[in-house]
Amino acid sequence: MTTLGDESTKGLKRESFGLARRASEPSVAPDREPVIVKIEGDPDPRDWLVAIINGSTDAIISKDLNANIRTWNAGATRLFGYSADEVIGKSITILIPDDRLDEEPAILAEIRQGQRVEHFETVRRRKDGSIVDISLTISPVRNAQGVIVGASKIARDITERRLAQEKQKLLYGEMQHRVKNLFALTAGIVSLSARSGGDVLTVTRSIHERIAALSRAHELTMPDWQGDGLEGQTTTLLTLVKTILEPYEGHQEIVISGDDPSVGVRALTHVALLFHELATNAAKYGCLSEPDGRLAIDVVAKEREVSVTWMEHCEIVAEPPSSQGFGSRLEKSIEISLGANIERRWPDSGLVVQIRVPTDQLAS
């Protein structure tokens, strides 16, 4: 019977993932020492463990109680960018951002007490300086006498999960925000239609037409889920803006001019949501909320960049928002997703928004 702490086992091939032991290093065994039965004729049981560690997509690292790295597998190289030769013998803190350095003493304190750290979510720094979201599981490592001599770490990249969570959070917030706005917008459309006068039938037809246009703009921002992906239709920027602003035409002076670049499937939702949010706020607080309000939108498409100027003219005094709401979060998300730049100004004439998007990102 052989355990991980049995030094009588020969021929162990561990150099490929940085497990070659120095003469001064103790023989180690994990906190929960497994019992491995060696069957005559089978490969050495420790070779099985070597293969498992080598084949793992997770980073598997061990360190001593001074936080110096002792072993490093291929998964760690893929995740952090360092080879085993670059890191073995160095402090584990080379992976820890400056603002997270206090985590390591706390982890080592738990390890010295024989405690296991389960699924600790944090961030670490790669060789190129980039930050990666990870989940850590850390266990004490004991020598043959049962004394804790270090720790083993399993680090899993959770970047995709975090991005999915952020997207879900944004969509949920947008859904709540939009439901509230739909009631406000419907009330606004009814009021706008009533100002035009006419008989009941004419006003009713006008209300139906504007609500239908609002529905079409809503559909552009929420493509249908088909099969394995998000299926939406490609359109052009002016077509998209006109669709979103169609419910307000006839009551305010709205001028849409300039170039008409393509908007790709990936960018469509982001751009439509942005203009839907601008139109919603204009209808509630800005130029689209009063009869004499005017809105000018101009598009300039260049080889590398598309620039859109949204300019409101009204008697309402424009002021910066007092707090960060859904619109601010949406703009930050668009800046990250499309590499866009969104700037707002509040002159006396009304809100001015300058939007710049890389041409290739807009068409993606």
The rounded distance, in Å, linking the Cα atoms of 144 and 26 is 8
Do 172 and 288 sit in the same domain of this protein? Answer: yes
pLDDT tens figures, 28-39 = 444 455 555 555
Residues in the chain: 364
Task: Copy the structure tokens of residue 133.
Answer: 């979201």
Residue ending a domain, choose from 157, 179, 206: 157
Long-range CB contacts for residues 79-87, cutoff 8 Å, separation at least 24: 79/126, 79/132, 79/134, 79/155, 79/157, 80/124, 80/126, 80/127, 80/132, 81/126, 81/127, 81/128, 82/127, 84/17, 84/18, 85/18, 86/127, 87/18
Question: Quick one: average pLDDT of 64-89?
Answer: 93
Examine residue 191 and state whether it is found in any structural domain, yes or no.
yes
CA distances from 88 to 17, 20, 155, 270, 358 (A): 11, 10, 17, 45, 43
Examine residue 7 and state whether it is found in any structural domain, yes or no.
no
Q: Mean pLDDT for the chain?
A: 78
Do 61 and 90 sit in the same domain of this protein? Answer: yes
Examine residue 8 and state whether it is found in any structural domain, yes or no.
no
Residue 193: per-residue pLDDT: 62
pLDDT tens figures, 299-341 = 999 999 999 999 999 877 767 766 666 567 778 878 888 999 9
Domain interval for residue 231: 161-362
Examine residue 10 and state whether it is found in any structural domain, yes or no.
no
pLDDT tens figures, 1-19 = 333 333 333 333 333 334 3
Nearest to 66 by CA among 149, 127, 1, 5: 149
Please indicate, yes or no, whether the overall pTM of this predicted structure exceeds 0.85: no
Domain of residue 336, CATH code? 3.30.565.10
Of residues 358 and 170, more confidently modeled? 358
Question: Quick one: average pLDDT of 171-185?
Answer: 73
pLDDT band for 129, please (50, 70, 90 cuts): very high
Do 177 and 251 sit in the same domain of this protein? Answer: yes
For helices 265-285 and 200-221, angle between their N-to-C axes, nearest 10 degrees: 140
Tally of domains in the chain: 2
Residue 237: per-residue pLDDT: 93
Do 63 and 206 sit in the same domain of this protein? Answer: no
pLDDT tens figures, 159-168 = 888 888 887 8
The rounded distance, in Å, linking the Cα atoms of 70 and 50 is 15
Do 252 and 343 sit in the same domain of this protein? Answer: yes
> 3-class secondary structure for 88-134?
CCCEHHHHCCHHHCCHHHHHHHHHHCCCCEEEEEEEEECCCCCEEEE
Examine residue 264 and state whether it is found in any structural domain, yes or no.
yes
Domain of residue 119, CATH code? 3.30.450.20
Do 173 and 307 sit in the same domain of this protein? Answer: yes
Do 59 and 25 sit in the same domain of this protein? Answer: yes
pLDDT band for 243, please (50, 70, 90 cuts): confident
Task: Copy the structure tokens of residue 79.
Answer: 């995740």
The rounded distance, in Å, linking the Cα atoms of 107 and 120 is 10
| 36 phi, psi to nearest 5 deg | -115, 120
| 151 phi, psi to nearest 5 deg | -145, 150
Residue 360: per-residue pLDDT: 92
